[in-house]
Amino acid sequence: MTLIHAIPSRTGNVRRPITRPRPGPRWDRDGLAGSRRPAPSRPAGSPARYRGSGVAMSVAPHRRRPVTLATTVGLALLAGMITLWLGVVAHFGQIANGDSSSAGRIPDRLGVVRVEAGESLRDVAARVAPAAPVRQVTERIRELNALNSPTLVAGQTLIAPIG
């Protein structure tokens, strides 16, 4: 390892500066300096003057223009068309994903089902109503049995839609 430059370590009290100020008068470029503080830029009793915040602001006159009836009707029609468009897109997206209500109904017939070992609520829903949407059957089972959580115990009996 090659040491190129070494800085002498500070010894003694850490709070004390390395170079102490020299006692006696200080000399400035203009002569004897009484203090290192900047000279006051205003008299002591006068208020401070602010020359702006430094942010460029428009100097053009700004007046309020009234909103016409045509503008209001046009914006309302535009909002209605956007809402209609979003509804159509959501409807076709639901059909494309296969989540349409015609794909399967929850059976009306109810029965008592016993939970098998290692089975979840989704597994029970898929077993008792294979043609129906699993999520809807799961919600119906939770509603019929007043379940707060999806955890089940092996051997537990549940009321479920069968079909």
Whether residue 23 has pLDDT greater than 90: no
Containing domain of residue 152, as a range? Answer: 118-161
**Rounded CA separation 85/12 (Å):** 78
Determine, yes or no, domain membership for 145: yes
AA letter at 156: Q
**Rounded CA separation 147/141 (Å):** 8
Q: What is the mean pLDDT of residues 14-34?
A: 58
> What is the share, in percent, of the chain residues with pLDDT greater than 70?
67
Question: Where is pLDDT greater, at 98 or 112?
Answer: 112
> What is the share, in percent, of the chain residues with pLDDT greater than 90?
35
If phi > 0 it is left, if psi is from -120 to 50 it is alpha, else beta; for residue 118 that is left
Determine, yes or no, domain membership for 151: yes
Determine, yes or no, domain membership for 8: no
Determine, yes or no, domain membership for 146: yes
The 10s digit of each residue's pLDDT in 123-138 is 999 999 988 888 999 9
Determine, yes or no, domain membership for 14: no
Determine, yes or no, domain membership for 154: yes
**Rounded CA separation 81/141 (Å):** 40
Count of domains in the chain? 1
Whether residue 103 has pLDDT greater than 60: no
Q: Highest mean pLDDT range out of 23-37, 71-85, 97-111, 136-150?
A: 71-85
| Count of positions (residues) in the chain | 163
Determine, yes or no, domain membership for 26: no
The 10s digit of each residue's pLDDT in 70-95 is 999 999 999 999 999 999 998 888 77
Task: Assign 16 to helix, strand or coil.
Answer: coil
Determine, yes or no, domain membership for 153: yes
- The closest of 160, 103, 154, 99 to 131, measured between CA atoms, is 103
Whether residue 59 has pLDDT greater than 90: no
